[in-house]
Amino acid sequence: MSDGSGSVSETDEDLAQAIEMLERASSVTVLCHVQPDADTIGSGLALGSVLERRGATVQVAFAAPASLPESMDELPGRHLLVDADRVTETVDLVVTVDAGSRGRLGSLGDRLDTASASLVIDHHRSNTRFGTLNVVHASAESTTAVIARLLDRWGVEIDADLAHLLFAGLVTDTGSFRWVRPGSHLLAERLLATGIDGAHIARKLLDTHPFDWLPMLGSVLGSASLIPDAAGGRGLVYAVIRSEDSAGLRSEEIESVIDIVRTTSEAEVAAVLKQQDFGSVWVVSLRSKTEVDVSAVACELGGGGHRNAAGYTATGDLPDVIEALRGALSAS
């Protein structure tokens, strides 16, 4: 049921309302979050492809970086992607996918102000509900899983191209099915039954890096720090990626570091602090094992995410940023 704020409970009702909005719109812009992963791109291209088949004029876009990560260059529907500076200002409907807040849209956030209506589709519990209608299914393991629910409710057949896109988001956000929920494998089985090559999709997205990634990894991991008494004695391990470390590498190489740091057995919480443009802005990725809700920590510091995977952006000298993180962890 509606709570009066444009949000509805996680039932078929919210999907039905979303379908009504989508069917009324003849021009739609689908916005993915900055530094896109396969969940936001897979969701955006899947929804965009369905809308295009129905005769709508569709654009799919993200604000940064300037081009799609190479790991996603085999995803179907890429013809729908447009550069950020070519996104139409006025459309019937703007849909955001996998963006927990307006800020995650970067410079394209202002497109929400010029559209006739906006629809937020997400699975982050910390979503700030910034749309005209907000379909936020925190029970879903990925936003592509929410899109799958939407397509089922809409009566859309999920063919191999759509399955490829939905599986890309599912395998990414579950960490190759390490973090699953009831139904995760059932959805995967259904998508694989369309004939897609799940192993190839996963390998392309998660297990393919250039040689230059290795020396960067050695440098960054070699300078990692462990603070055993952080997070109430549960431990924090962190690594810093300075701009000179990441020069020439793709965003997916940078984002992969956290999943190595998080394996440290002596720490419940892992963090990777990524310097932006040699300056004082740091994008921070957080992970926890079981005990700490890092989404609450990230929210306190201006970000958001999931219980065991979250992030935020901080500004300041590195020691101050680390101390602020320690303070937020102490309060968690």
Asked if 282 and 319 touch (Cβ cutoff 8 Å), the reply is no
Q: What is the pLDDT of residues 10-38, one digit of tens each?
A: 667 999 999 999 999 999 999 999 989 99
pLDDT computed for residue 268 by the predictor: 98
Mean pLDDT of the chain: 94
- CATH code of the domain covering residue 257: 3.10.310.30
Separation of alpha carbons 54 and 195, rounded Å: 24
Residue ending a domain, among 163, 189, 206, is 206
Q: Please state the domain count of the chain.
A: 2
Cβ–Cβ under 8 Å, residues 332 and 321: no
Q: What is the pLDDT of residues 151-171, one digit of tens each?
A: 999 999 999 999 999 999 999
State which H helix or E strand residue 230 sits in: helix 230-233
Q: Are residues 172 and 319 in the same domain?
A: no
- The count of residues in the chain is 332
- Position 7 confidence tier, pLDDT thresholds 50, 70, 90: very low
- Are 82 and 115 members of one domain? yes
Domain membership of residue 145 (yes or no) is yes
Residue 90 shares a structural domain with residue 124: yes
**Residues 218, 281 within the same domain:** yes
56 has pLDDT over 60: yes
pLDDT tens digit sequence for 197-236? 999 999 999 988 999 999 999 999 999 999 999 999 999 9
CB 220 within 8 A of CB 176: no
CB 286 within 8 A of CB 270: yes
Q: Same domain, yes or no, for 117 and 158?
A: yes
Does 245 lie in the same domain as 116? no
Out of 206, 230, 254, pick the residue that ends a domain.
206
Instruction: Give the DSSP per-residue string, 267-295.
Output: -SEEEEEEEETTTTEEEEEEEESSS--HH
Q: What does the pLDDT read at residue 11?
A: 66
Pair type for strands 309-315 and 93-97: unpaired
- 179 pLDDT above the threshold of 90: no
Tell me what the mean pLDDT of segment 137-156 comes to.
Answer: 97
Residue 241 lies in a domain: yes
147, 19 Cβ separation under 8 angstroms: no
Q: Is residue 272 part of a domain?
A: yes
Whether 20 and 45 share a structural domain = yes
pLDDT at 8 over 50: no
Helix (H, G, I), strand (E, B) or coil at 243: helix
Smallest Cα–Cα separation from 198: which of 218, 179, 172? 172
**CB neighbours (10 Å) of residue 284?**
23
Please check the confidence at residue 47 and state whether its pLDDT lies above 90.
yes
Same domain, 183 and 228: no
The answer on 253 and 160 residing in a single domain is no
Helix (H, G, I), strand (E, B) or coil at 220: helix
Q: How many C-beta neighbours within 10 Å does residue 65 have?
A: 13
- Residues 30, 96: Cα–Cα separation, whole Å: 6
What is the distance between the alpha carbons of residues 284 and 280, in angstroms, rounded to a whole number? 12
Q: What is the pLDDT of residue 171?
A: 97
Domain contains 196 = yes
Judge whether 166 lies within some domain: yes
Print the domain residue range for 315: 213-330
Same domain, 163 and 219: no
> Do 191 and 159 form a contact (C-beta atoms < 8 A)?
no
Do residues 194 and 273 share a domain?
no
Model pLDDT for residues 63-110, shown as the tens digit of each residue:
998 999 889 999 999 999 999 999 999 999 999 999 999 999 999 999
Whether 176 is covered by a domain: the verdict is: yes
pTM of the model: 0.89
According to the model, what pLDDT value does residue 306 have?
A: 87
CATH code, 64? 3.90.1640.10
Span 252-271, average pLDDT: 95
Is the Cβ–Cβ distance between 93 and 114 less than 8 Å?
A: no
Of 170, 185, 206, the residue that ends a domain is 206
What per-residue confidence (pLDDT) applies to 3?
36
Q: Give residue-wise pLDDT tens across range 314-326.
A: 999 999 999 999 9
In a domain? residue 1:
no
Give the whole-angstrom CA distance, residue 67 versus residue 61: 10
Q: Where are the beta strands (DSSP E) in 229-268?
A: 236-241
Please give the Cα distance from 79 to 101 (Å, whole number): 26
* Same domain, residue pair 190 and 272: no
Does pLDDT of 251 surpass 90? no
